[in-house]
């Protein structure tokens, strides 16, 4: 039985990154991890377009517009929603996740969910370059893998 998977070789094309300014201390670290991972995998910074939005709730609209544009191999969404900081955590986190998934399904372009959803600031920081890696870096890898997987399936 044939098995298909995407590798981590540098894909052609441009990548859009939508990042939320809310909790910027964390999301800037996610962007740094994302950018460095692209560069170390052979996608130079001049093939990355970064778009800042106010909060994670605004990510899906931009993600969809960028994916629809036909200009990008994939769109990467970076945000940070911390339960301790908000009573409407469930709405922001849930709608961000649902909207990001919708953007991918509606356009056929990989739209990657690099939005941290945590209980505490410490959990968020640990996933943005401290004890538990960098979710922005993971998101870049997921984008590369998905682009290469789709290309392989289409071949
Ligand atoms: N946006 C976030 O990205 N993270 C949060 O933790 C957050 N909190 O705490 O409320 C947050 N709120 C803003 C929201 O994303 C929108 O920008 C705002 O509601 C305007 O639509």
Domains present along the chain, CATH in parentheses:
14-154 (3.40.50.960)
CA-nearest residue, atom 16 of ligand 1: 55
User: DSSP readout, 50-93?
Assistant: EEEESSGGGHHHHHHHHHHTT-EEEEEEEEEEEGGG-TTHHHHH
The pLDDT of residue 139 is 98
CA 115/CA 43 separation, integer angstroms: 22
Atom of ligand 1 nearest to the CA of 56: 3
Q: Which residue numbers in the chain have pLDDT < 50?
A: none
Verify whether residue 41 is a known catalytic residue: no
Nearest alpha carbon, ligand 1 atom 1: 55
pLDDT score at 84 = 80
The pTM (predicted TM-score) of the whole model is 0.97
């Amino acid at each position: 039985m044939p098995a298909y998977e995407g590798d981590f070789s540098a894909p052609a094309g441009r990548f859009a990154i939508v990042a939320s300014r809310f909790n910027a201390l964390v999301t800037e670290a996610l962007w740094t991890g994302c950018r460095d991972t692209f560069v170390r995998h052979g996608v130079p910074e001049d093939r990355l377009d970064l778009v800042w939005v106010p909060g994670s709730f605004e990510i899906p609209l931009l993600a969809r517009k960028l994916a629809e544009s036909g200009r990008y191999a994939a769109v990467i969404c970076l945000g940070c929603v911390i339960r301790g900081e908000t009573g409407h955590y469930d709405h922001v986190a849930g709608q961000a996740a649902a909207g990001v998934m919708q953007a991918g399904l509606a356009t056929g372009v990989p739209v990657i969910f690099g939005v941290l959803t945590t209980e505490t600031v410490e959990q968020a920081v640990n996933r943005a370059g401290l004890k538990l890696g960098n979710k922005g870096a993971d998101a870049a890898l997921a984008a590369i893998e998905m682009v290469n997987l789709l290309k392989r399936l289409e071949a």
